């Protein structure tokens, strides 16, 4: 049964990876979807392949969000998925001692400022109807410290907390606008695939990476998409201000090898 029929959804960072998988799943559930991204070529390729409306959006720019609000004044679902790690242009210092202020600000501008402006837009686009679902994609790194990626961890932790502030604000206004955060750990995307060796040694590298994960594997983008779809539909109407880890049990406690 399509649980998102007659729902309008906007998804950021949807040209590839988790964002694309979320778009596919919400489309299967019947939603009318707009996918956005800063990568023009990849976005339009995805839009063509999935037969979805596209809109170029740099989530760190307020002017871009103003254009979105004019073009799409009413939505039912917003997925704030766009994000960067800080390593997109190569390996560089991202630890607390050596990170440059410029690098720190760039990561927060996309991850945190982008989520803030997305939530602000969604509230305005949902409050007339009085219902809606805002889903912010944070990270396992928003639950724990990451010594070598301080800006990324900080930005994702702030998304976790801001989601709760948005949830409380909307509830106090008497709106049924919900806001929740999802915290994936290592999900197999093109980014991870590129960092793993191809051919001989690949399986050993994967095994070494997930050895401390109780389920002993990478997550799949479809699993993040399934959780997003659940939070998007009205059956989750009593869930707001909550956080959902999807990490193979990594944060449950100590590692537990399969029996």
φ and ψ of 26, to 5 deg: -65, -30
Between residues 159 and 255, the one the model is more confident about: 159
> C-alpha angle 78/167/83, rounded to 5°?
45
3-state secondary structure of 244: strand
Res 195: pLDDT = 64
Active site residue 238: no
* The pLDDT of residue 254: 62
Question: Of the listed 48, 72, 152, 238, which one is catalytic?
Answer: 152
What are the backbone angles phi and psi of residue 21, rounded to the nearest 5°?
-60, -40
CA 77, 185, 240, 121 dihedral sign is: negative
Contact, 78 vs 72, CB < 8 A?
no
List, for residues 135-186, the tens digit of each pLDDT value.
999 999 999 999 999 999 999 999 999 999 999 999 999 999 999 999 999 8
> Residue 53 is encoded by which pair of tokens?
């409306």
**Is pLDDT at 259 greater than 50 in this prediction?**
no
Average pLDDT of 66-73?
98
Query: Residues 183-211: pLDDT tens digits?
Result: 999 888 876 676 677 888 888 888 888 88
């Amino acid at each position: 049964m399509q649980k998102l029929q007659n729902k309008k959804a906007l998804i950021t960072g949807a040209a590839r990876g988790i964002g694309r998988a979320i778009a596919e799943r919400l489309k299967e559930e019947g939603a009318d979807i707009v996918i956005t991204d800063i990568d023009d070529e990849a976005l339009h390729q995805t839009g063509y392949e999935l037969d979805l409306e596209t809109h170029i959006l740099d989530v760190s720019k307020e002017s871009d969000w103003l254009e979105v609000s004019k073009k799409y004044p009413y939505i039912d679902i917003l997925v704030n998925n766009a994000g960067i790690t800080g390593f997109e242009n190569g390996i560089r210092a991202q630890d607390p001692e050596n990170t440059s202020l410029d690098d720190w600000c760039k990561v927060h501008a996309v991850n945190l400022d982008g989520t803030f402006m997305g939530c602000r837009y969604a509230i305005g686009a949902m409050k007339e109807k009085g219902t809606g679902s805002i889903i912010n994609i944070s990270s396992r790194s928003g639950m724990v410290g990451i010594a070598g990626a301080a800006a990324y961890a900080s930005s994702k932790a702030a998304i976790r907390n801001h989601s709760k502030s948005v949830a409380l604000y909307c509830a106090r206004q008497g709106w049924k606008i919900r806001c929740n955060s999802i915290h994936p750990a290592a999900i197999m995307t093109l980014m991870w695939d590129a960092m793993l060796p191809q051919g001989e040694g690949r399986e050993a590298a994967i095994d070494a990476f997930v050895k401390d994960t109780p389920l002993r594997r990478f997550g799949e983008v479809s699993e993040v998409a399934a959780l997003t779809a659940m939070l998007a539909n009205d059956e989750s109407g009593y869930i707001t201000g909550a956080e959902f880890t999807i990490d193979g049990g990594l944060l449950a406690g100590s590692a537990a090898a399969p029996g």
